[in-house]
Structure 1
């Protein structure tokens, strides 16, 4: 039998969704040359929809280069949180626009 009996409970949990947290989707809106507040309960696997409501092009660019979302006016971009920890971000076109994402495992 070997490994199968040990993996069976994990496989069942994955297939049924029990014991596995589902990813959440959050939106961060850019308006008035400012990033909206990031979500407080962000976890690895969650999705962020960046929405640019301004008439100017913006980016959501990680200082550690882990993401760089280009957002023309009136557009959206999506990303999935891939690692836990804090990441500072800014707009490459408007460096005074800043924020911080903090993700838990």
Structure 2
């Protein structure tokens, strides 16, 4: 039993090392454009969408996986739930577009 008790901290450290913590990323809307999407985005990460414009915008996935409403000078948060490429746009200004690349 003593050797098992000595191994538990090492086992816990190994398990913790394999689980990377989620990260927060920011995408800012300014001048009627989405800022660049974050590189290295993965499932479980959080995106904070910030609308610095004087107009209402959305961050809406073409596959309908998210739809964040952003009044002027506001923020909205979402947790990335699946891997793959996701095209997004603003419902009020369809020429505003972007793409997220999400790793598992």
Which of structure 1's runs of 4+ aligned residues deviate more than 2 A? 11-14
CA deviation vs aligned residue, 1:44-96 (integer Å, no higher than 9, x gap): 00000000000000000000000000000000000000000000000000000
**Separation in 1 of the partners of 2:13 and 2:83?**
23
What's 2:5 paired with?
none
**Separation in 2 of the partners of 1:66 and 1:12?**
35
What's 1:5 paired with?
none
Structure 1 position 17, deviation (Å): 2.8
Where in structure 2 are the equivalents of 1:1-105 lying within 5 Å?
12=12, 17-105=16-104
What's 1:4 paired with?
none
**Structure 2 regions of 5+ residues with no counterpart?**
1-7
**Separation in 1 of the partners of 2:16 and 2:24?**
17
When Rg is computed on C-alpha atoms for both structures, the one with the higher figure is 2
**Structure 1 regions of 5+ residues with no counterpart?**
1-7
Q: What RMSD, in angstroms, separates the aligned Cα atoms of the two structures? A: 2.0
**Separation in 2 of the partners of 1:101 and 1:19?**
24
TM-score by length of 1: 0.85
TM-score by length of 2: 0.86
Give the total of aligned pairs. Answer: 96
